[in-house]
A and B are shown apart, each in its own frame.
Chain A
Amino acid sequence: GENVEQHPSTLSVQEGDSAVIKCTYSDSASNYFPWYKQELGKRPQLIIDIRSNVGEKKDQRIAVTLNKTAKHFSLHITETQPEDSAVYFCAATNQAGTALIFGKGTTLSVSS
């Protein structure tokens, strides 16, 4: 079945720096790649997503890139702020295309 690997598991940056989180997926049929942010004690919330027919997408300080050949995608956060501190999960559609398979998460800490 689909497997999603996410790195690093923890990431500490200074306010204003950039943060990059990388994910790889195993099933070449995957066609949808969302990123979720989960703050402590709260529900996961979508922050950005990308579909397989697009190589890059940007929304203000957040961007996602997709390399279908290498089967990896990355989240880029620029000009980080303390409120960006949270756990970030990448996900990819499973082989059947019926559900999302999540990575294990990256705990991002932004210190001021």
Chain B
Amino acid sequence: DTGVSQDPRHKITKRGQNVTFRCDPISEHNRLYWYRQTLGQGPEFLTYFQNEAQLEKSRLLSDRFSAERPKGSFSTLEIQRTEQGDSAMYLCASSFGRVNTEAFFGQGTRLTVV
């Protein structure tokens, strides 16, 4: 197990198109997070899964964003009708056990909306 992996690493899409990103957490990590990071900013929390249950969504997450984690393993983040403001690095992180344990980040998917 080499850590949290995300696919694709880069995505360029035209405004209005839908995109889907995948995150494979570290095996047996029950907690999975999606964050968004723009240049010069810290990671911004989007949503959280405990096993397959999506337990929290940020107010920042508009209706165009949806995330799933079927069977509590990998997760997908879909953005519908992309806008230029969606351009950012989308980071996935996972952790095991309680919330106050180390969260391991993936390399991220860089989205560019043109």
Contact = CB atoms under 8 A, between A and B. Distances in A.
Interface of A: 1, 4, 6, 31-32, 34, 36, 42-46, 49, 51, 89, 91, 93-94, 96-105
A99 B33 contact: yes
Interface of B: 4, 33, 35, 40-45, 48, 50, 55-56, 59, 91, 99-100, 102-108
Given A49-B100, A104-B41, 7 more contacts: A34-B102, A43-B105, A43-B108, A45-B105, A99-B48, A105-B40, A105-B41
Given A51-B100, A98-B99, A99-B56, A44 B45 contact: no
Contacts, number: 61
Q: What secondary structure prevails in chain B residues at the interface with A?
A: loop
Given A44-B91, A96-B56, A31 B100 contact: yes
B105 A101 contact: no
Contacts of A49: 100, 102
Contacts of B55: 98
8 contacts: A31-B100, A36-B105, A43-B4, A43-B105, A43-B108, A44-B91, A94-B45, A102-B43
A46 B99 CA distance: 14
B42 A104 contact: yes
